[in-house]
Amino acid sequence: MNRILRLVLLLAFGLTQCSEKKTPADLVIKGGIIYTVEPGTPTVEAVAVVGDTIVYAGSLDGLSKYEGEQTRIIDLAGKTMTPGFIEGHGHFMGLGYSELNLDLMDITSYEEMVEKVKAAVAKAQPGQWIIGRGWHQDKWTTKPKKQVKGFQTHQLLSEASPANPVFLSHASGHAGFANAKAMQIAGVNQLSVEKLGRNLGEGGEILLDELGNPTGLFNERAQSLITRHIPGNTPETDEQALELAIAASLRNGITSFHDAGVSRKNIELFRKFKEAGKLNTRLYVMLTGFDSELLYEWFKKGPEIDAANRLTVRAIKLNCDGALGSRGAWLLEPYSDRPDFSGMATLSMDTVLKISREGLKYGFQVCSHAIGDRANKEILDRYELAFSENPGKAANHRYRIEHAQHLHPDDIPRFGKLGVLPAMQAIHLSSDRPWAIDRLGEKRIKEGAYMWQSLLKSGAVIVNGTDVPVEPINPVASFFASVTRQTLKGEPAGGYEPEEKMTREQALQSYTLDAAYGAFEENIKGSIRPGKLADFVVFSKDLMTVPDNEILSTEVSMTILGGKVLYEKK
């Protein structure tokens, strides 16, 4: 080889080496199965991160150029890593306050509820309100001796707390249970019920016994008769609740959270935490539709999309009906176990149409709570009308229906056709399906409840989640429900309506990339590829391959947000 040719080859080699030289990464992760949720490359062997961004996802062979003296190396030691999970529908401050107030989620009887209240009263100041949440009468193994329309009456609770007012929210948040002292403070008695009911208008119910006395059960808007008398949270307790919510999210592998219905006060608190560098969960905020003044302030200034990817405000939450547990879900036909009642709309459909139009006009996504088949149909009708009136703005609307729990068969294909996203919480099937059949009957359950696979086949994109604090935030439980359609006790064998199960790939995508799509964020999160945010969760077992009966024993080992390890199980 002549000298000139050798010099040319050496120069070319040197240029190649220079072009391949990379800045060492801040973080390298390897040593386990890494699921990317990227089509074409479902798994990789290693990931490299610079700052808060993924710069490499591929084989071990291509990793050496990213490893430097200052690079932190995480060896997964055989564990499994996925993109950070995204809670697609929850209530962030509710999550925090659920850890501060009386937790009734696991009680199995009315008597157990009363005992928890007794213990709280013993620690309380005279006259102090006792607040709790999480009870669900259909999950109790022992039923109360006296019931009115399926609910307990207040006498036992009132005897346990004669001097302290008590208000205990149903797990769904769509009903509440008060003792006599709370009703006395609110002026609710046999004589006042009719007048109070008229003042509520549509969308609320005070449950009465056979003599016309209030039972203590307040459905939907009627809860406000009691809650308006409960002292507000203090700034100190709000901050404490927010800190608890962030910690709970990280413990559970949640790196992003769609907050379904946020007040002005909450947004100010989130901003305060963000400015202090303490907002260690990425929040996608839906403005509460209960505050029309807040909505129109935001319409005037437009969405706020955070360049730092910590706090984005570009959606609106409308509460349009109630829940199955309290028989507030709005149905096309009466409840099977209450033939005189079909639930209720909690918001005028004229308002849904108006906000749907305004959302398109001002660039806000509309997310409407609908559980019953009539609520879903009515909302799809209003969305479709708004889209047809403004096709240009509707091209990428990504409007959502939150829960979409019970659908008329004719409405299932409309989700894919209209591009409306069903934001569903698979864990609700595990909790609700055993008793929901009593509410709806077998035909309606089989044809229209929890229709995940049918919706996916329609072309719909499903956003998964838990509706925390209605259910615990644990995404592993919701993943289990998605792929087995069983209760958390593993019943029944084969699952309820097994043809509607998600595959494991669909379930993982619903908690990552599709949830990101539900917030217009699929280009920055939800999968593992160079250029996306370095948000990951490490699991103790391989969720994609372990037997069904091992899914629930899978734990979050580590949560990484923006390339930083913010939680590690000890």
Domain limits, the chain: 19-84+526-570, 94-227
Q: What are the beta bridge partners of residue 80?
A: 33, 539
CATH class of the 19-84+526-570 domain in this structure? mainly beta
Q: What is the pLDDT of residue 460?
A: 98
Give the per-residue pLDDT at 20. Answer: 53
How many whole angstroms separate alpha carbon 56 and alpha carbon 49?
7
* Residue keyed to tokens 């929210």: 169
Confidence band for 23, pLDDT divided at 50, 70 and 90? confident
Dig out the tokens for 427 from the structure: 């864990």
For tokens 């006792």, the residue is: 130
Element (H, E) at 308: none
User: With 80 as the cut, is the pLDDT of residue 1 above it?
Assistant: no
pLDDT average, residue stretch 311-325? 96
Lowest mean pLDDT among 18-22, 458-462, 485-489: 18-22
| Strand duo 27-35 + 80-83: pairing | parallel
Report whether pLDDT(5) > 60.
no
Whole-number average pLDDT of the chain = 93
In terms of Cα–Cα distance, which of 338, 342, 318 is closest to 261?
318
Going by C-alpha positions, the residue among 274, 313, 245 that lies closest to residue 98 is 245
- Binned at pLDDT 50, 70 and 90, residue 9 comes out as very low
Peptide bond into 492 cis (omega under 30): yes
Q: How many CB atoms lie within 10 A of CB 255?
A: 27
Low-confidence winner among 47-56, 187-196, 398-407, 534-543 (lowest mean pLDDT): 187-196
Give pairs for 562-568: CB < 8 Å, separation 24+. Answer: 562/51, 562/52, 562/533, 562/534, 562/535, 563/26, 563/27, 563/49, 563/50, 563/51, 563/52, 563/53, 563/534, 564/52, 565/74, 566/250, 566/280, 567/250, 567/251
Average pLDDT over residues 552-564: 98
Q: pLDDT: is 245 or 12 the higher one?
A: 245
User: 191 versus 112: which is more confidently predicted?
Assistant: 112
Tokens at 127, concatenated: 């006259």
In whole angstroms, give the CA distance from residue 444 to residue 316: 30
- Residues 164 and 124: beta-carbon distance below 8 Å: yes
SS3 label, residue 458? coil
DSSP 109-172: BHHHHHHHHHHHHHHSPTT--EEEEEE-GGG-SB--SSEETTEE-THHHHHH-SSS-EEEEETT
**Burial class for 67, CB neighbours closer than 10 Å (0-12, 13-18, 19+):** middle
C-beta separation of 40 from 28 below 8 A = no
For position 563, what pLDDT does the model report? 98
pLDDT attached to residue 221: 86
- Give the Cα separation of 473 and 377 in Å (integer): 29
CA distance 322 to 174: 6
Mean pLDDT (whole number) for 333-361: 96
Task: Give the pLDDT confidence of 460-479 residue by residue, as tens digits.
Answer: 999 999 999 999 999 999 99
How many angstroms separate the first and last alpha carbons of the chain?
Answer: 61
Q: Among 28-32, 96-100, 291-295, 363-367, whose mean pLDDT is lowest?
A: 96-100
Mean pLDDT, rounded, for 449-461: 98
Task: Give the Cα separation of 17 and 14 in Å (integer).
Answer: 5
Q: How confident is the model at residue 12 (pLDDT cuts 50, 70, 90)?
A: very low
Dump pLDDT digits (tens) for 152-211.
Answer: 999 999 999 999 999 999 988 889 999 999 999 999 988 887 766 656 666 788 999 999
Same fold, 19-84+526-570 and 94-227: no
Q: In what order do the strands lie in the sheet with 365-370?
A: 85-90, 254-262, 282-288, 311-319, 365-370, 400-403, 421-423
Report the greatest alpha carbon distance in the chain.
Answer: 110
Whole-Å CA distances, 20 to 57, 78, 198: 16, 30, 75
CA–CA distance from 265 to each of 223, 248, 256, 276, 288 (Å)?
21, 21, 20, 17, 11
Give the pLDDT of residue 326.
87
> CB of 94 within 8 A of CB of 469?
yes
Q: What pLDDT does 6 receive?
A: 42
What sign results for the dihedral spanned by CA atoms 532, 534, 536, 542?
positive
Confidence of residue 15 (pLDDT cuts 50, 70, 90): very low
Out of 178-192, 231-245, 397-411, give the one with best mean pLDDT: 397-411
The pLDDT value recorded for residue 16 is 42
400 or 195, higher pLDDT: 400
- Hey, what are 268's tokens? 């100010």
Chain centroid to CA 343: how far? Answer: 23
Mean pLDDT of 402-428: 98
Considering the domain delimited by 94-227, tell me its CATH architecture. Roll (3.10)
**pLDDT value for 190:** 83
pLDDT score recorded for residue 172: 86
CB atoms within 10 A of CB 65: 14
Read off the pLDDT of residues 506-525 as tens digits, 9 standing for 90 and up: 999 999 999 999 999 999 99
Strands (E), 36-71: 43-50, 53-58
